[in-house]
Amino acid sequence: MKNIYDLTEEDMEEYFINKGSKKFHALQLFNFLYEKRIKNIEEVTTIKKEMLEEIKKDFSFAKIELVLVERDSDVCKYLFELKDKEHIEAVLMKHDYGISVCVSSQVGCNMGCCFCESGRRKKIRNLEVYEMVQEILLIEEDIGQRISHVVVMGIGEPFDNYENLIKFLSIINHPKGLAIGARHITVSTCGIVTKILEFSEFPLQINLAISLHAPNDEIRNKIMPISKAYPMKELIEAIKIYLSRTNRRVTFEYILLKDINDSEACALELAKLVKGINCYINLIPYNETNNLEFRRSNTIQIMKFYDILKKNNVNVTIRREFGSKISAACGQLRSKKEEL
Ligand code: SAH
């Protein structure tokens, strides 16, 4: 049975029309679910009792469950339990420009990036739309505030759960839904070329981030298996098509891993690779985890890398660090809980 929070406005319209009812009830229901945050369907006052009974029969109202929160001054990490007892994580970060949440898109992940904690556990399943939507609803409930920014950078590869991702994005962006501006939403992919091309046709102005992490195939192949399926040349080609279709800018994420991708030669090669691409590069100090042997580049090396990019006129920032005290690297909280 579908969950009520799986439905986009279009899905609801279709439902009401099929029931011989009125299409405009979709917007009303959206309003009750997301603006008024009703706890049960009886609280809807604008739809007839009989119709509400039908809705109750046709949809589940089940929620995911918040089971653990680790709190720090400007970051909170949430662990949720799903109805099949699986666990997912989300992270809240307080910035001067607002509150952002990093959501998970799958249980486990099949991309197998060597440095990533989440990938140690194979994909169990995709998250349903309602599970992703509720990550945000439950966090807003917990803090009693609205979330202004969403990044799909938690556990999972969002483009490996494309259909649900698109519905999720439509719901959280909808003005009567969670009303989070498209430009405040970022989807991060390890580089599934076919989906980057598909996403370039998606009408919402959502930001795209690419986990690049290497300036060439040789290094990328060693740390990101996806690179064998979609080599650098194809990836860059797809990004260029995305940029020409959307007139937007992409973000490249680049984790600095000691002695793997942090040399000055790598920085130069990276600058060359992105030349002429409307992008900015986000350098990420690696969050070390107990289970993997990758090490973070030291600060001097990070600064050197940064300077080389700057000198070569690349837009570059170093990611502000959140939550290395609490288990904020992807997948760490769940690993702790399940002691994998
Ligand atoms: N599958 C998507 C989104 C999830 S990963 C993607 O690959 O983009 C989100 C980001 O966190 C990616 O850039 C990923 O490479 C990075 N990441 C994973 N483990 C990390 C760690 N221990 N420290 C810092 N960044 C990490």
pLDDT digits (tens, 9 = 90+) for 66-91: 999 999 888 999 999 999 999 999 99
Cβ atoms of residues 180 and 173 within 8 Å: yes
Distance from C-alpha of 205 to C-alpha of 99, rounded to nearest angstrom = 20
pLDDT value at residue 339: 45
Model-wide pTM > 0.85:
yes
Clarify whether residues 33 and 138 are in a common domain. Answer: no
Distance of CA 7 to the CA centre of its chain: 19
Clarify whether residues 209 and 331 are in a common domain. Answer: yes
Clarify whether residues 157 and 278 are in a common domain. Answer: yes
Show the tokens assigned to 110.
């099949």
Counting the structural domains of the chain, the total is 2
Domain region containing 19: 4-58
Clarify whether residues 249 and 305 are in a common domain. Answer: yes
Report the CATH number at residue 29.
1.10.150.530
Clarify whether residues 153 and 14 are in a common domain. Answer: no
Out of 58, 82, 101, a domain closes at 58
Q: Identity (one letter) of the amino acid at 338? A: E
- Residue of the nearest CA to atom 13 in ligand 1? 211
Out of 19, 39, 58, a domain closes at 58
- Residue of the nearest CA to atom 17 in ligand 1? 116
- Residue with more model confidence, 249 or 293: 249
What are the phi and psi torsion angles at 279 (to 5°)?
-150, 165
Question: 287 CB less than 6 Å from ligand 1?
Answer: yes
Out of 58, 73, 90, a domain closes at 58
Clarify whether residues 91 and 17 are in a common domain. Answer: no
Clarify whether residues 146 and 222 are in a common domain. Answer: yes
- Residue of the nearest CA to atom 4 in ligand 1? 153
Q: Is the pLDDT of residue 311 over 60?
A: yes
Query: 211 C-alpha vs ligand 1 centroid, how far in Å?
Result: 7
- Residue with more model confidence, 286 or 326: 286
Clarify whether residues 93 and 40 are in a common domain. Answer: no
Clarify whether residues 106 and 32 are in a common domain. Answer: no
Task: Name which of 15-19, 179-183, 295-299, 332-336 the model is least confident about.
Answer: 332-336
Per residue in 113-125, pLDDT tens? Answer: 999 987 778 999 9
Q: Is the pLDDT of residue 340 over 50?
A: no
Q: Is the pLDDT of residue 313 over 90?
A: yes
Question: 137 CB less than 6 Å from ligand 1?
Answer: no
Helices (H), the chain: 9-18, 25-30, 49-58, 129-143, 162-173, 193-199, 217-223, 226-229, 232-246, 264-273, 299-311, 332-338
Query: 167 C-alpha vs ligand 1 centroid, how far in Å?
Result: 23
Query: 49 C-alpha vs ligand 1 centroid, how far in Å?
Result: 47
User: Taking all residues of the chain, what is their mean pLDDT, rounded to a whole number?
Assistant: 93
Report the CATH number at residue 248.
3.20.20.70
Clarify whether residues 53 and 120 are in a common domain. Answer: no
Catalytic residue numbers? 89, 330
Clarify whether residues 8 and 83 are in a common domain. Answer: no
The three state secondary structure string of 239-279 is: HHHHHHHHCCCEEEEEEEECCCCCCHHHHHHHHHHCCCCCE
Report the largest interatomic distance among the alpha carbons of the chain, rounded to a whole angstrom: 69
Clarify whether residues 185 and 318 are in a common domain. Answer: yes
